[in-house]
Amino acid sequence: MIEAEDLSWSYGTEPVLQAVGLAAVPGRVLGLIGPNGSGKTTLLRLLYGALAGPIGTVTIDGVPLSDLRPRDAARRLAVVVQETGAESSLTVAEMVLLGRAPHLSAFQRAGAVDHAIASQALRRVGAEQLAARAYTGISGGERQRVLIARALTQQASHLLLDEPTNHLDIRYQHEVLGLVADLAADLGTTAVVVLHDLNLAARYCDDLVLLGRREVAAVGRVDDVLRPETLEPVYGIGVQRVEMAGQLHLLFRPFETAREEIA
């Protein structure tokens, strides 16, 4: 479980998050949603310790994150961030094998067990056929699968993802988030994911934290958070809920259009 209590953060004198609280539990996907600039990525970075010195506390399975050594934190937390392009010369297999680094000493080379774990992770995400390919030579959706395989290779119990569907076409958006949801359900992984698309959040998340201006506007199960009276003040747009084949969908329209139709 990942828990945050009274978590606040400022960039210089500009507050970004104030007194945020949340709990991400095993076997469920927690989505962080909100408008641009609401602090979603900042909050995610606080949850895995990429930003030092916040006000408040983050605990991982009851242990304060600040008490964990970097190697110990890496064994508990696997992070998938947006691509940097830094690993341009690696094959897919080499990229995934990097996930074993927290389990190896400084000068220890990966052994047969490590390679087997990496191969199993590639199979788990349906990408074993890519092992010999150059990482830069595969598609965006395939790259996200590989990065998730690298996270699985860490054998961490908590998976955090920053906008994993960014720049992906519709098919890969659903494939990647379906994979994350399956990992949570099948392996009991605690998953936290930053998302912009509210309909993707409705389909693949179990719980949501809605960030407004600097603070949490709503927190709870998907059906409780994705309501017009909750979303409209935060996003400044009209929202309509539609149920189709047992699945929640949201429709959006500017308030001006809604007022014209009423008139």
Q: Could you tell me the pTM of the whole model?
A: 0.87
14 CB-near residues (< 8 Å, 6+ apart): none
Q: Note whether 232 and 238 are within 8 A (CB).
A: yes
Per-residue confidence (pLDDT) for residue 110, from 0 to 100 = 84
Per-residue confidence (pLDDT) for residue 54, from 0 to 100 = 83
pLDDT digits (tens, 9 = 90+) for 63-116: 999 899 888 888 899 998 866 555 568 899 999 999 998 888 778 888 899 999
Per-residue confidence (pLDDT) for residue 218, from 0 to 100 = 94
Whether the predicted pLDDT of 227 surpasses 50: yes
Per-residue confidence (pLDDT) for residue 27, from 0 to 100 = 95
Strands 207-211 and 29-33: parallel
Q: Note whether 69 and 149 are within 8 A (CB).
A: no
Strand partners of residue 3: 23, 59
Hey, what CATH class is 2-221 in? alpha beta
pLDDT digits (tens, 9 = 90+) for 26-47: 999 999 999 998 999 999 999 9
Q: Which helix (H) or strand (E) holds 2?
A: strand 2-11
pLDDT digits (tens, 9 = 90+) for 109-162: 888 999 999 998 898 888 899 999 999 888 888 888 888 889 889 888 899 999
Per-residue confidence (pLDDT) for residue 172, from 0 to 100 = 83
Residue type at 3 in one-letter notation: E
Q: Which helix (H) or strand (E) holds 200?
A: helix 198-204
Domain ranges in the chain are 2-221, 227-263
- Give the burial class of 245: count Cβ atoms within 10 A of its Cβ; 0-12 exposed, 13-18 middle, 19 or more buried: exposed
* Residue 71 to residue 53: CA distance in whole angstroms: 19
Residue with tokens 């067990």: 113
Whether the predicted pLDDT of 187 surpasses 80: yes
Per-residue confidence (pLDDT) for residue 171, from 0 to 100 = 86
Per-residue confidence (pLDDT) for residue 263, from 0 to 100 = 45
Whether the predicted pLDDT of 262 surpasses 50: no
